[in-house]
């Protein structure tokens, strides 16, 4: 029978730990915070890369976790899941990349063929909408959204957060999230000829 060293946790125990418990321990044992990076670094990187491109994504992902580590003592430990908190930090840090993000979507709108960095979200939107040109059109439509509307849409569609989690990420009421998402979807439908590229998120949640 193997003997564990004191303080050393098994992988099974790490998986069972809530994010809040990890953060709580990290306040006295900073190295414990690495578990949060292991859990969510890839997801945060994918979200950021889809929005501002892969070149800047690595640095912004790292900055997200550095900022989270520095703020760990202010984390609300009643919230077991830290994903909304991390995605909120990443979204706020992207504020200085707004113009770059808009330029990226405008550039994607001009690409004649699907590019390598197009994500499954867009693939599924194409399938649901039944229109082969929706990728370019979707990129153009996203470029036209205001920053706050784009944040809500992409936290739902690409961050895979529900309404309450988006509200936590952005620090706004759930009603505000619903209102912004409804307005954003309305604008997207206008640009996309009536198709809704974010409808699959709720359809899948009900399945």
Q: pLDDT tens, position by position, for the chain (207 residues)?
A: 444 444 444 444 445 689 999 999 999 999 999 999 999 999 999 999 888 888 888 999 999 999 999 999 999 999 999 999 999 999 999 887 777 676 777 776 676 654 444 444 444 443 443 333 337 778 888 888 899 999 999 999 999 999 999 999 999 999 999 999 999 999 988 888 776 655 544 433 333
Sign of CA dihedral 16, 89, 206, 121: negative
- Res 7: pLDDT: 46
CA distance linking residue 173 with residue 166, whole number of Å: 9
For 127, which DSSP code?
H
Query: Quick one: how many helices (H) and strands (E) in the chain?
Result: 12, 0
- Res 111: pLDDT: 66
Q: Evaluate whether 150 touches 139 at the Cβ level (below 8 Å).
A: no
- Res 205: pLDDT: 37
Distances (CA, A) of 39 to 14, 19, 53, 68: 10, 9, 22, 14
Q: Indicate the SS3 state at residue 160.
A: coil
Instruction: Say how many Å lie between the first and final Cα of the chain, rounded.
Output: 44
CA distance linking residue 107 with residue 84, whole number of Å: 29
Q: Evaluate whether 75 touches 85 at the Cβ level (below 8 Å).
A: yes
Quick one: which H or E segment has residue 100? helix 98-109
Please give the backbone phi and psi of residue 161, each rounded to the nearest 5 degrees, phi first: -100, 150
- Res 139: pLDDT: 82
Give residues with Cβ within 8 angstroms of 46, minimum separation 6. 119, 158
Retrieve residue 12's tokens: 């099974």
């Amino acid at each position: 029978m193997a003997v564990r060293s004191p303080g050393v946790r098994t992988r099974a125990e790490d998986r069972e730990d809530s994010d809040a418990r990890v953060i709580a321990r990290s306040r006295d044992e900073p190295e414990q915070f690495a578990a949060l990076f292991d859990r969510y670094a890839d997801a945060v990187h994918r979200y950021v890369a889809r929005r501002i491109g892969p070149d800047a994504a690595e640095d912004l992902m790292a900055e997200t976790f550095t900022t989270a580590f520095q703020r760990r003592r202010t984390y609300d430990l009643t919230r077991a899941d830290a994903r909304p908190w991390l995605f909120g930090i990443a979204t706020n840090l992207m504020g200085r990349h707004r113009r770059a993000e808009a330029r990226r979507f405008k550039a994607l709108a001009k690409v004649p063929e699907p590019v390598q960095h197009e994500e499954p979200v867009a693939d599924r939107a194409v399938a649901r909408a039944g229109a082969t040109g929706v990728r370019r059109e979707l990129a153009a439509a996203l470029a036209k959204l205001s920053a706050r509307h784009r944040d809500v849409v992409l936290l739902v569609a690409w961050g895979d957060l529900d309404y309450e989690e988006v509200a936590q990420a952005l620090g706004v009421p759930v009603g505000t999230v619903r209102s912004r998402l409804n307005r954003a979807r309305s604008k997207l439908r206008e640009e996309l000829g009536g198709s809704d590229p974010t409808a699959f998120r709720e359809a899948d949640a009900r399945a």
